[in-house]
Structure 1
């Protein structure tokens, strides 16, 4: 059930795009603090973003980021990595 009055924030990683959906000023504030903090971090992984979204209970959707500069084998490995994480975190959401 999607609300028309909510905002969307996009975070792009090398092979995953996160679409964060915020419905209140409180959620927007959480995301702004997170975005300010990740600017000062040397390396941030996809796991970190998944974990943060789940801990803060911010609704999100992910999609695969196709990069045509990669070889087919690297692209397939990237997709497998993306799919594995998507399934792992989708299963966690079902458990909670």
Structure 2
């Protein structure tokens, strides 16, 4: 079963100046087959768009978890994952 994870940035107004979403997700070492960042800021997927992307890529289990930037500019996850599909 392919697992996908949407990381929703709750404080997307404080993006670091040089932010690379792929590097940020890789640094999290997530245990899933595919992950996507979502946020309310321009240039990011919103949760329904990210969910649709996961479905079209064959994910059979999709969850969403909140993320925020810590003092060093890295993303830290908090809260419990919410199962959206599967």
TM over 0.5: no
- Greater relative contact order (Cα < 8 A, sep 6+): 2
- Normalised TM-score (structure 2): 0.31
Q: Which has the higher helix share?
A: 1
Larger Rg: 1
Q: Which is strand-richer, 1 or 2? A: 2
